[in-house]
Chain A
Amino acid sequence: MNRLQSAAELENFRAGILAARDPAKPCFAVCAGAACDGLDSARVASAFEAEVAKLGPGAGVEVRVTGCHGYCEKGPNVVGPHDICYFEVKPEDAPEIVARTVDGEVVERLVYAHPDTGEKAVHMADVPFYKHQTRLLIGDNTRIDPMRIDDYLAVGGYAALAKALFQMTPDQVLDEVKQANLRGRGGGGFPAGQKWETAKNAPGEEKYVIVNAHEGEPGAFMDRALFTGNPHKVLEGLIIGAWAIGSHRGFIYTRHDAPQLIKHIETALAQAEGYGLLGENILGSGFDFRVEVHFDVGIFVSGESSALMRSIEGNPPEPRPKYIRTSVAGIWDKPSNLNNVETWANVPQIISRGADWYKSIGTEGSKGTKLVSLSGNVVNSGVVEVPMGTPLRKIVYDIGGGIPGGKAAKAVHFGGPMGGSIPASLIDAPLDFDELAKLGAPIGAGGLLVMDEDTDMVDVARYFLEFLTNESCGKCVPCREGMRQTLKVLTNITKGKGRSGDIARLEDLSDVTGAACLCALGRTASDPLKSMLRYFRDEYETRIAGGSAVR
């Protein structure tokens, strides 16, 4: 295979792929996402492959092992022809599914059935979990084997890159992203176009672009689902960004403990390079760009952008105390533009379909769709994608199926250890960067935790503080010591040993930690507690006064 040397060659190649594929050919997409994999979906995939092999080569049935479909609660997931969804599939179900599908029939016992009414839904568009979503980013996961770049090309991949390189100038690409008001999806919500522009205009020829794939927020798993399932989408966004900014060297920073993700990234990079979509003279445009992969080895703070950059340099991941933006002076003090996986993944569609189209989705301040990791005390946990502005109620009840065991919801939490909880009474709040920040529960990376009526809100704050005390780098006093002392007070309260004056102590500590810490981890460390004291203060006061260890 020779490297593709022009946009026309890319389109011809794509046409060739599509011509060789028969859309009428039944295909079984077996999910190998994290949760399904943990439920042994590999054996399900093998069973399907064995079954299809028995039909002989002329049978025209395909098995595709894909990334995360999203409905993690009901895995192992298999999607058949016409988007028929089969759930909780076991290896021994494979013969029946294959045989009946070839006969044009559906295996009723394995399709979705509503837990209360028993009403069935066969196709994805009818399954409640899926039908309320807008799956612009994750929808392709069922159509792509992450180890095959041709699958990504078959769904239109890299057309945006060709458009950016040949029909637009770097400034035009930058303008489009600015116009679209794409805001960072990693937790900061900062306008990506603005960050790109700062890096682009910063002095110096050598600039870097970085994918922050270090998903560390507890309860957040959508970045891994997206990146593992569709690495090329993220890579395409990165190359477009590099073109806009004027960068020729990119870094992907990811966790070391996700072997499937690492394998998919490395394969994607090699295959893109092989096709001329990465490396020297991309698509014959004259633009050179190469990417390298780096790892975090097990500390949450290395997801903080300046700490991440220090880690790439080979230093311990301590956030930088200097008052200079990393987009001006980052890795080795060169302008470095860092964005989250999901942010990069949004870029190709903005280029293909335009900023005006993108702005038509979402709210005034928050455009586009957002991936949400829904988990905790919820019936349907998994990866969900909805337009910004969607009321949380819809996510928790219509998509999430409500609370298991018929219990009432008590609170929802966003932003993990750097976020906050809001009470169930506020569940009509929209999924919006600014609206949720005002309520004290900023979206963060998008991990939505649902908590039922039995949840101990003192323990939740204590949990997050304990997490951060273990993950802080320990350099600055208000973070290290402030959290240590806050954790002591909260632990005592959970053990029934609260003392009068505890709330004042907690408030003082939170106040100073929020104001004086060196980095965002420290500054937001007390936010969960602050949200608890805002909405669940009486629970805290009762526990302290009553001296009880349990609710």
Chain B
Amino acid sequence: MSEVVMQIDGKEVKAGDGTTVLQAARSAGIRIPTLCHHDKLEPFGACRMCMVEVEVRGRKNYVVSCLYPVAKDLLVRTRSERVDKIRRVILEELLAHAPNSPELVALAAEYGADRDRFDKDPSFCILCGLCVRYCAEVKGKNAVDFIERGARREISFIPEIAAKECWECQECFALCPTSYAQAAYFLTEALAFPGRRKKASAPSA
């Protein structure tokens, strides 16, 4: 694979042609925050936290580094007043859902985000999609997916599949930044197939 030479935060970085700015930054030890990214999954481009400033032929643009391809002589800035503002407001919007998520709280401290800036919303899911995508791309089970649209979008466990697959797996629970995936599973179980798990794990039928 051929390499391109670019700059990230003033530092010269060599990156494989066809890789993303995020991958290039990580290989150079430069940290860019992410919420919906996972190395085992296809980049999603939903949380927008990894936005960086790029400059190409004198023109500046703001792009998500998890998807933006590296290019020769690309100038990348991972922090700036504008980039930081974008991250801060996104965090404030998410903290309205999950004010106690450890990951969000840590980032909030770094970017000066105020967890009380916006009115709170009852759902503590931040719709990062890690659970949905993990179940589809890594496990191939499709037990959980998004439903609805816009502000009403949420994740939903499919009872018919979850009843068979989830208890033995549970791998998406650890990925969830807010514990919502775990809560959603248990709620689905309680409503749609209560008692089945107990029976299955009972010592005798």
**A residues lining the B interface (CB < 8 Å):** 299, 321-323, 468-478, 480-485, 488, 505, 508-509, 511-512, 515-518
Contacts and interface: CB of A to CB of B under 8 A. Distances in A.
B45 interface: yes
A518 to B, nearest CB: 6
A481 B127 CA distance: 11
B151 interface: yes
B93 interface: yes
B72 to A, nearest CB: 16
B151 A474 contact: yes
Contact of B90 (A322, A474, A512): A512
A396 B20 CA distance: 50
Contacts of A512: 85-86, 89-90
29 contacts: A321-B45, A321-B64, A322-B45, A323-B68, A468-B150, A471-B150, A472-B150, A473-B149, A474-B148, A474-B152, A474-B153, A476-B45, A477-B48, A477-B90, A477-B93, A477-B126, A478-B90, A480-B153, A481-B97, A485-B96, A485-B119, A511-B85, A511-B89, A512-B85, A512-B86, A516-B51, A518-B45, A518-B46, A518-B48
A476 to B, nearest CB: 5
Interface in B18-65: 43-48, 51, 62-64
A488 B119 contact: yes
A475 B43 CA distance: 13
Interface string B118-156: 110100001101000000000000000010111111000
Interface residues of B, number: 36
Given A321-B67, A474-B148, A481-B90, 20 more contacts: A299-B149, A321-B44, A323-B69, A469-B150, A471-B150, A475-B127, A476-B46, A477-B47, A477-B126, A478-B89, A482-B89, A485-B118, A488-B119, A505-B117, A508-B85, A508-B89, A515-B51, A515-B82, A516-B90, A517-B48
A469 B51 contact: no
B94 interface: yes
Contacts of B119: 485, 488
Contacts of B94: 477, 481
A516 B48 contact: yes
A468 B127 CA distance: 18
Nearest to B129: A475
A468 B62 CA distance: 23
B56 to A, nearest CB: 11
A483 B94 CA distance: 13
Nearest to B117: A505
Contacts of A474: 127, 146, 148-153
A509 B85 CA distance: 10
A515 B86 contact: yes
A516 B127 CA distance: 17
Contacts of B62: 515-516
Nearest to B35: A477
The 8 closest A-B pairs by CB, nearest first: A321-B45, A474-B153, A481-B93, A512-B89, A472-B150, A516-B48, A474-B150, A484-B151
Contacts of B46: 321, 475-477, 518
B148 A482 contact: no
Nearest to A513: B89
Contacts of A299: 149
Point out which of B47, B86, B89, B148 has the most chain A C-beta atoms below 10 A from its C-beta: B89
B16 to A, nearest CB: 17
A4 B106 CA distance: 71
Given A472-B150, A474-B152, A516-B62, A485 B48 contact: no
A471 B146 CA distance: 16
B145 to A, nearest CB: 10
